[in-house]
Chain A
């Protein structure tokens, strides 16, 4: 983890951006390197400043935050994107994750959550507002009940559950292999089985699933 976390703020509301900047700059080890008022500007400034973290709203004129996150992560996969949004519906969360964002916060989040989310993504991990986690979990339980389905989590072995959690936290296969003393090939096979058993198709869905299940928060 770098000594100082360099942050890019992207939000079209100046008052909010100013407030956020004030809040973050008072934190030791945080520095705001640039501010953008739109998605396109955020993409350009991320390219120019190469920050560690981008904190970004979804609803912005010109280019929305999800599309901007996709381009930023495409250009620089090391940048951790934190979505700070008014929306709490899973369609926004899932699309943000698919676009490459690693943290999703509600705009009514407490200061502590914002700071924790920035630290988490700077380390390559995920973070979700407790409220988002709770809503996603409730919805998931409802959806299972509506489909009269058993929770497929029960199908996973102990080892697979372990790997699912590490993967959802954002660790690479190599990191997982080192942590668990397994071969890279074995971890890869486990991962494939997990996705099959849970009927998931991408890391984004895997993360969303883990949040819904309360495996990560």
Chain B
């Protein structure tokens, strides 16, 4: 594309420079042609006038009554001869190929003419009286006439050469026109080609971009769907594991405890009693561990009684383990939420409380849930060390946000170093009623 545009610009510049150069050449060619023609015409004119004048002077010399009177004519003729010879030399410097033959003929004629005239200068009065008229009319006049004819022919040839030069210039101009036309056409054609190519390329880019956009949107959506599925699967897994631990494994330990009690009740001897008490103690520890594991996986209150008892339990657990004071304020509606909403809020609060006890060095956390016309508002506020939400994006915040987004909710973190942290979650209840209807 860059090469295409560059080429186009280069072509345009080249055509402009080329035409300027050619036009200048044409103009100077034209001027030169004219000047050449004029100077040659002038030289020819000088030769012609020299020949005319020589005739006049020759006649006056021949007809002069005394030889003394002819001296002035004789010197005038000599001057004319020199003048015409120098004109001939000037003209000879720029001979066209067609002019060579007639010009040499003219030279010869003129030379002969001057030779003939030369002879007359040596005549005595008797010879002059004898020849004067006859010589002038029979010898000099025809010679002069033929010289003038040759000069006319050369003038014609000179004009012809001007015409030819003009024609040549016309041809060159025509060639320039056609070259310019060609270059223009070429430029236009390549411009059009380039434009077509560019449009095609842009359209393809646009199609590609929109295809990639829709691909990435689809990929994002399916990723989101997948992660929602994963979250659900994880929650289901936790629920069933928790229940299994609680209802099966723990009950087995209870049975062992009960049997130990039964055996102790039978009044065994001291070594057996000690072993049995050991069994009972181990069974109690095992029972506690299993119960705690089950509760950590998913507290049974969440499924048995709803969100608020589960949150209260969570708060008490955190308080017992870490000394963090947790206040939970929640209305009745919080217990009537659909399973997904309950789980979402519970997990978000759980994660937030963990953050508070682990990172925030908070002493009090307030958890508030209230329902408005079509939204559930959850806020978790601590008085801990806070952080910069622009820079810190760990702390399970992404996971919390992901859970909230799945239910079409919004998730905001308001925290500043030294000023505590407030998490704000809004979950739409429109989906809630829909879920209730479908359920």
Closest residue of chain A to B365, judged by CB? A146
Q: Are A86 and B305 in contact (CB under 8 A)?
A: no
B300 at the interface (CB under 8 A from A): yes
Closest residue of chain A to B327, judged by CB? A146
Please, what's the 1-or-0 string for B210-253, where 1 marks a CB less than 8 Å from any CB in chain A? 00000000000000000000000000000000000011001110
Near B by CB (< 8 A), chain A positions 1-43 give 13, 15-16, 19-20, 22-23, 26
A87 at the interface (CB under 8 A from B): yes
Closest residue of chain B to A110, judged by CB? B261
Q: Are B255 and A142 in contact (CB under 8 A)?
A: no
CB distance from B264 to the nearest CB of A (A): 7
Contacts of A108 in B (CB 8 A): 254, 257, 283-284, 287-288
B93 at the interface (CB under 8 A from A): no
Contacts of A193 in B (CB 8 A): none
Instruction: Report Cα–Cα, A143/B304, bound state, in Å.
Output: 23
A138 at the interface (CB under 8 A from B): yes
Number of A-B pairs whose CB atoms are under 8 Å? 81
CB distance from A158 to the nearest CB of B (A): 32
Known A19-B259, A111-B264: A89·B364 in contact at CB below 8 Å: no
Instruction: Report Cα–Cα, A111/B257, bound state, in Å.
Output: 10
Q: Are A86 and B254 in contact (CB under 8 A)?
A: yes
Main secondary structure of the interface of A (DSSP, over half): helix
Interface size on A, residues (CB 8 A): 29
Contacts of A88 in B (CB 8 A): 291
A91 at the interface (CB under 8 A from B): yes
* The residue from A22, A91, A138 contacting B262, defined by CB atoms under 8 A apart: A22
Known A13-B254, A22-B262, A23-B262: A138·B312 in contact at CB below 8 Å: no
CB distance from A12 to the nearest CB of B (A): 8
Contacts of A111 in B (CB 8 A): 261, 264-265
Q: Are A107 and B254 in contact (CB under 8 A)?
A: yes
CB distance from B316 to the nearest CB of A (A): 5
Q: Are A147 and B247 in contact (CB under 8 A)?
A: no
Please, what's the 1-or-0 string for A82-105, where 1 marks a CB less than 8 Å from any CB in chain B? 000011111110010000000000
A139 at the interface (CB under 8 A from B): yes
Known A91-B305, A91-B309, A111-B261: A142·B287 in contact at CB below 8 Å: no
Query: What are 14 A-B contacts with C-beta separation under 8 Å?
Result: A16-B251, A16-B255, A19-B255, A19-B258, A19-B261, A23-B262, A59-B246, A86-B250, A89-B301, A89-B313, A91-B301, A91-B304, A107-B257, A146-B327
